[in-house]
Amino acid sequence: MNRTRESLFHLAENRKDFAGASVLDLFAGAGTIGFEALSRGARSVVFAEKEGRALQVARRNARLLGVEAQCIFLRTDAVRYVRRYKGPPFDFIFADPPYDLEDMPHMPSLALPRVKEGGLFILEHDRRIFFDRDPAHPDLDASRSYGRTVVSVFRRKPAAPERDADEPASPPVSS
């Protein structure tokens, strides 16, 4: 578990800096991932967890670590929350859902619209779920296996610039 978590942050930090980042920790449990993000320079973390006892532990940990002001704790179903979220996009979204989560194959599509352009969605999942197979998920940046666990990193690509309908698709070539 510690090796997987360390690898998860190694994969993330090699792609994007945590300094000043906003983070969403889905299926937060006791908040380990969110607190690690704060220790690496994140500005704020939203913890989404439906189990009240786990969320109480996360709140207590925030108090003990002196980071309460940087944390928002939400007792909510993580999938429902990310589906309905309309606020500002996050720099990072982490998700460590139960491996039998029915919505697991849809998590990248649900989370990526809530990530800033160039931001990351990092998902821990069972090795029986494949985002890197033909066809690979278009936003998959990396995938690493650690025993039964796979860490998949998805990067939100910049939106294609809109062009005027009267504008030619490519610039004219001069002779």
pLDDT digit string, tens, across residues 12-57: 988 989 999 999 999 999 999 999 999 999 999 999 999 999 999 9
- This prediction has a pTM of 0.86
Tokens of 45: 């973390």
| pLDDT confidence of residue 163 | 55
Residue 133, pLDDT > 80, answer no
Q: How many CB atoms lie within 10 A of CB 31?
A: 26
CB 72 within 8 A of CB 45: yes
Residue 65, pLDDT > 80, answer yes
Place of tokens 């786990």: 54
CB 150 within 8 A of CB 126: yes
Ordered by where they begin, the domains of the chain are: 2-155 (3.40.50.150)
Residue 4 pLDDT grade (very low, low, confident, very high; cuts 50, 70, 90): confident
Q: How many CB atoms lie within 10 A of CB 18?
A: 19
Residue 117, pLDDT > 80, answer yes
| pLDDT confidence of residue 170 | 45
